Amino acid sequence: MPETILLPLAALPFPQIDPVLIRLGPLAIHWYGIGYVVGILFAWWYAKRIIATGRLWPSGKAPMEPEHIDDFLIWAAVGVVAGGRIGYILFYDFQRYLADPFAILAVWQGGMSFHGGLLGVTLAMIFFARRRGIPAWSLFDVIAAGAPVGLGLVRMTNFINSELWGRVTDLPWAVIFPNGGPFPRHPSQIYEAGLEGLVLFLVLGWLVWRRGALARPGLVAGTFIAFYAASRIFVEFFREPDAQIGYLAGNWLTMGMILSLPMFLIGLWAMARARRAAA
């Protein structure tokens, strides 16, 4: 027997925000792309500020220079975009891109995987750290500290694009998305923006600026990974799974959960490792 949904008397109207910020002839600048650019630039600025603040480091000086972050900026952008796109293709919609390979280049239409982007930027950090003689775990920490801002911005642009919306609900803050059918749905993009963006940024900031976490390399990065994974698994209970995949078991298990579980365990391991190394 299908589940009965009690619809609210009134749902929040969807704000009609044009997904394109600026049109310059054939060139269209999307909010989605702006979210990525601003997120990467903020993480660059924030990492340099952390490195330049000597009191945050046990020896009074960071094991890297702010100029290293300048050099890493391009590496980070390539790792995030390439990893995110490849991850989405492999994890979420392989058959579509196999049938239409040219669609792989249409990144402005969406289709990015956080898990793929994380893997891409992690590989970039490992290669960069080895090339420049920088402790990899410390580089992980300073990059992770500012990353939640970009996550939050991109989730908000997902909301603007009316994509990745949530399951049908009767809650009073439900939203009727223009391409989500006539039913009110969880604004799951905003849930993710709040947890993975704002709350995670504040937690990591507290660790860096108040708790001296940089003295235990890997603690900030491990917290970032574990907190993100736990938040993503939680929000997946409210988020509509990708139509081409659906639920993998029952009406609750999703691809996002499966990809986030090993992340959560890796994050816990990194946190435990950092604490043992500092003991």
Geometric angle at alpha carbon 240, from 239 and 245, rounded to 5°: 125
As a whole number of angstroms, the distance between CA 154 and CA 245 comes to 22
Residue 165: φ, ψ to 5° = -75, 170
Q: What is the pLDDT of residue 1?
A: 44
Beta bridge partners of 23: 28
The DSSP H or E segment spanning 27 is strand 27-30
pLDDT band at 4 (very low <50, low <70, confident <90, very high): low
Beta bridge partners of 20: 30
As a whole number of angstroms, the distance between CA 25 and CA 83 comes to 30
Distances (CA, A) of 118 to 86, 111, 243, 264, 275: 11, 15, 23, 13, 23
Q: What is the pLDDT of residue 206?
A: 98
Q: What is the pLDDT of residue 100?
A: 81
Residue with tokens 């420049």: 132
pLDDT band at 6 (very low <50, low <70, confident <90, very high): low
Instruction: Render the burial of 258-273: b for 16+ CB within 10 Å, e for the rest.
Output: ebbeebbeebbebbeb
Report yes or no on 6 lying in a domain: no
Report yes or no on 1 lying in a domain: no
Among 266, 184, 201, 208, CA closest to 50: 208
**Which residue type is seen at 224?**
F
pTM of the predicted model as reported, rounded to 2 decimal places:
0.89
Number of structural domains found in the chain: 1
Report yes or no on 271 lying in a domain: yes
- Structure tokens of 135? 């402790």
Report yes or no on 240 lying in a domain: yes
| pLDDT tens track for 122-164 | 999 999 999 999 999 999 999 999 999 999 999 999 999 999 9
| pLDDT tens track for 198-235 | 999 999 999 999 999 999 999 999 999 999 999 999 99
Find the range with the poorest average confidence among 80-94, 135-149, 182-196, 258-272. 80-94
Report yes or no on 146 lying in a domain: yes
As a whole number of angstroms, the distance between CA 279 and CA 271 comes to 13
As a whole number of angstroms, the distance between CA 120 and CA 116 comes to 6
What share of the chain has pLDDT > 70, as a percent? 95
Question: Any alpha helices (H) in the chain, and if so which ranges?
Answer: 31-52, 66-91, 94-99, 114-132, 136-160, 188-192, 200-209, 219-236, 255-278
Task: Report the Cα 258 to chain-centroid distance in Å.
Answer: 16
> Where in the sequence is the domain holding 95, given as residue range(s)?
26-278
| pLDDT tens track for 66-121 | 999 999 999 999 999 899 989 888 888 888 888 888 787 776 666 788 889 999 99
Query: Can you give 178-228 as a three-state secondary structure string?
Result: CCCCCCCECCHHHHHHHHHHHHHHHHHHHHHHCCCHHHCCCHHHHHHHHHH
| pLDDT (average), residues 25-35 | 88
Report yes or no on 12 lying in a domain: no
Report yes or no on 19 lying in a domain: no
Provide CB contacts within 8 A for 32, sequence distance 6+: 19, 108, 110, 154, 157, 158, 160, 161
Report yes or no on 151 lying in a domain: yes
Whether pLDDT at 2 is above 70:
no
